[in-house]
Homo-oligomer: A and B are copies of this chain.
Amino acid sequence: MSDLRRSKVTIKDLARLCEVSIGTIDRAINNKPGISKNTRERVLEVAKQNGYKPDRVAQSLQSGKTYEIGVIVHDLNNRFFSLLVDTIQQIAWEHDYYIQLAISLRDTKREKEIIEHMLQRNVDGILLFATNTGADFYSYLRSIDKPIVLLSNRVQGPKGAEEIPFVGLNNCEVVNDALEEIVRRGYESICFVSPYFDYSYKHNFYEIDQRYRTFIRFMQEHSIEHRVFNTEKYCEEISAMELHGKTAFFCASDIFALEVLNLFHDLGKSVPQDVGIMGFDNIDVLKYVRPGLSTINYPVDELGKTAFKLLIDIMGGKPSRTEKILDAKIIWRESI
């Protein structure tokens, strides 16, 4: 190395150095036929000597492929998402793909901007944990000329229309099972705690909604006393409520369950003696929380891997089912 700072060396440089044409360089570098063993070795040697590295941007312009996939999630603050992205990055790496990461912050406008940006950057595909929903967004996604796989939050079109590829969870079944067991354990009153979902803002609450509906249906079918907390003031409201009968709090995510747990701790109530609490997701930090929180395991790893593989299949033009539903497992610990 003459200079410490290696300046970019291109196939043109190699051609000059080897005194052959760029076509020959190409054949050597990319292991193509139609070149003598001798020349190939010489070229490869010179390439190595000079630290030649192909320019992926130029390759992309030529081939239309970037080997990058866009990953869009709500945030990385939520443990669930960081584990998800971790998994996706890992499997992508194994397949020689790179990740362009962007955070939607649950902002519908921002999500659309991100998608547009990613398309301009010519990602080969997109893994989307959607924030938008509705017919317009469905049409928008369908209009996109790149493969997209939705994670967890489905986006539905008109009846009978082709579905957007989707990997999700069997929310209804697992919530039903959990509720049955909770009732069997003698709880007489069950509260549902979840983030605030206001359909008028057009946010995608697909998963929460599934859990919510299942909860309501179950309560009605079994005539069980129930209540729903899904406003921003749920903590105050829960503090203010009077408990009659053995009461359980079924939370739409572990984060809410932990908040409720903290709340009752502050109120001087014991869990599960005074109230039962159940979470959803099984985030890893539960390991450090006492009492052990009963929850429902979201197979994040499987979600990431399945979605990525589905995307790869679609990119490769493989005809595969474009919907996969994963199985959640209930984890009974101490809190209920």
Docked-complex contact A98 and B102, CB < 8 angstroms: yes
Give the CA-CA distance A229 to B219 in the complex, in Å: 52
- The answer to the question of A199 belonging to the interface, with a C-beta cut-off of 8 Å to chain B, is no
Chain B residue with the shortest CB-CB distance to A287: B262
- The answer to the question of A288 belonging to the interface, with a C-beta cut-off of 8 Å to chain B, is yes
Choose, from A33-41, A55-63, A232-240, the stretch at the interface.
A55-63
Docked-complex contact B54 and A57, CB < 8 angstroms: no
Contacts of A8 in B (CB 8 A): 145
Each complex incorporates copies of this chain amounting to: 2
Chain B residue with the shortest CB-CB distance to A283: B285
- The answer to the question of A217 belonging to the interface, with a C-beta cut-off of 8 Å to chain B, is no
Checking B53, B121, B290 against A120 with a beta-carbon cut-off of 8 angstroms, the contacting residue is B53
Q: Mark A281-303, 1 if CB is under 8 A from B, else 0.
A: 00011011110000000000000
Interface size, A (range): 35 or more
Q: Smallest Cβ distance from A196 to chain B, in angstroms?
A: 20
Identify the interface centre among A8, A53, A101: most chain B CB within 10 Å of its CB: A101
* Residues of chain A from 94 to 135 with CB closer than 8 A to chain B in the complex: 98-103, 116-117, 119-122
Q: Smallest Cβ distance from A112 to chain B, in angstroms?
A: 13
Chain B residue with the shortest CB-CB distance to A5: B145
Q: Smallest Cβ distance from A113 to chain B, in angstroms?
A: 9
Contacts of A163 in B (CB 8 A): none
Docked-complex contact A57 and B93, CB < 8 angstroms: no
Docked-complex contact A66 and B57, CB < 8 angstroms: yes
Checking B68, B89, B261 against A288 with a beta-carbon cut-off of 8 angstroms, the contacting residue is B261
- The answer to the question of A198 belonging to the interface, with a C-beta cut-off of 8 Å to chain B, is no
Could you list 27 examples of A-B contacts with CB < 8 Å? A4-B143, A5-B143, A53-B116, A54-B120, A55-B120, A56-B122, A57-B122, A58-B61, A68-B100, A76-B83, A77-B83, A77-B86, A77-B284, A79-B82, A82-B82, A82-B85, A85-B101, A89-B101, A90-B103, A93-B102, A93-B103, A98-B100, A99-B100, A100-B100, A100-B101, A265-B290, A289-B289
Residues in A lying within 8 Å of B, measured CB to CB: 1, 4-8, 53-58, 60-61, 66, 68, 75-77, 79, 82-83, 85-86, 89-90, 93, 98-103, 116-117, 119-122, 139, 142-143, 145, 258, 261-262, 265, 284-285, 287-290
Top 6 closest A-B pairs, CB basis? Answer: A82-B82, A76-B86, A285-B285, A101-B101, A76-B82, A258-B288
